[in-house]
Amino acid sequence: MNLNRQRSLISRKSFPIAIALLLIAALLQACGANNNANEEAASGSAPDASSSPASASASAAAESPTAAAPSTLTFGFVGVKEPAGVEGWGLHKGIFLEELKKYGVEEIKVVPFQTGPDLNESVIGGRVDVGNSGDTPAILARSSGAKTRIVNFANTEVNTILVGRKDGAQTLDELKGKNVAVVKGSLMYRFLVGYLDEKGLSKDVNVININSIPDTEAALLRGEIDAYAITSTYYSAYKLLKDGSPLLGQATESPSLLSTSVVYATEDYLEKFPGFQKVWTEARQKAYEDLKANPDEYYQWLSDQTGTPIDVLKEIQPIESLPGEALAAEGIDRVKAAKDFLVAEKLAKKDFDVDEWIVK
C-alpha cells in the first residue's frame, strides 16, 4: 500500500478515538471540579466532632447557600387565608419563591393553623419547615425540646388587650371571681398571666382555656365568660370595643408584656438547606421594600384577605408597625424577656440560651 495512503487511513481511523479520549478527559476534569466543590462545601458547613447540634445548625443556616434545597418548602402560620405583614406580602407577590428558586425550591406550600400551639405540634412532627407564630408558643416548644431556630421577626410590638363583656365587668377589679378566657400557650396567655400578676389579681381571677378565638368570642357574647385576651390586630375585637365592650387592660401599659411574632425554621430544614436564613432575609428585605412602595395595594390585599375595612387596618395593623430589620434588637430583648418570664413562672419546661436559638 502506498505510504501516504496508509497514513491517511490511520489518521481517519484515529480521529474518532482521539475525540472520545478528549471527551472522557473533559468529563473526568469536570467531575473532579465538582468533587472539590462538594468537599469545600462540606468542610465549610459540617461541624467538627466537638460542635454542639445547635452551633452546627447555626453555622449551616447562616453561611452562604451551597447546595440544592428541598423542592418544596412548607410554611405554616396562625390565621385563616394568608399571613399578613411582610412575610405574607412576599409570599403573595412571589418574592420569596423567586429568590428560593435559585437554590432548587419549586413550591412554597402555605398552611394555616388556628393557634400557635397547633402550629408548633406540626413543626415538632416534621410537617412544617418554616413557621410564623407568637413568641410564647415558639418558646414553650423550644423549651420542650423542639429543634427550631429563629430566622427573623415578623413584628416586634404585638399588643394584647383584655376585652370585657358589654354588660359585665367594666373595670379590672370587677373581674375578681370572674372567668377570663384565653388560648393557653399563646402570646395572649403570657400577657394575661403577667398582667394579672402585676395587678395583684392572679389568685382572684379564673383563667380558662378556649383553644379558638371565634369560640372565645362566641362564649363572651353568650355570657359564659366575662372577658378574654386577644391581640389588638383582630377586627372582631375592634368591633366589640366599638360596640361598647370595655377595654380592661393592654400590654402597652407594661412594655415588658408586649410580644414578638417570630419566624423560625426547623434544624432539619436548615441542615438540608445551608444558608437558608441568608436567602430568606434577603428576600424579606425585597418584600419589605415592595410593600413600602405599594401601601395602597398592600392594604387592599389585606382587606380582601381579612374582611377588615382599609381605614380600620390602618389603625390596627399599620404598615409603620412592621419591622424593616429582620432581627431587630428590640425583638431579641422581648423574646428574652418572654422566655425569662415563662421560665420563672414554671410555664416553660426548661431554660435555654436565646442567643443560640437565633440564627445570626
**What percentage of residues in the chain have a pLDDT greater than 90?**
74
The DSSP bridge partners found for residue 263 are 132, 152
Residue 292 sits at φ, ψ, to 5 deg, of -65, -30
Beta-strand pair 247-250/206-209: unpaired
**Domain boundaries in the chain?**
53-157+259-357, 160-257
Residue 66, pLDDT score:
55
Q: 17: how many CB neighbours lie within 10 A of its CB?
A: 9
Sorting pLDDT into bands at 50, 70 and 90, what band is 65? low
Find, among 335, 356, 317, the residue nearest to 262 by Cα. Answer: 335
Q: 160: how many CB neighbours lie within 10 A of its CB?
A: 27
Residue 324 sits at φ, ψ, to 5 deg, of -80, -20
User: pLDDT tens digit string along 130-174?
Assistant: 999 999 999 999 999 999 999 999 999 999 999 999 999 999 999
Handedness of CA 126, 127, 131, 135 (dihedral sign): negative
- Right CATH for 160-257 from 3.40.190.10, 3.40.50.460, 3.40.50.300, 3.40.50.150: 3.40.190.10
Which CATH number is 53-157+259-357 given? 3.40.190.10
**What percentage of residues in the chain have a pLDDT greater than 70?**
81
| Same fold yes or no, 53-157+259-357 and 160-257 | yes
Cβ atoms of residues 264 and 149 within 8 Å: yes
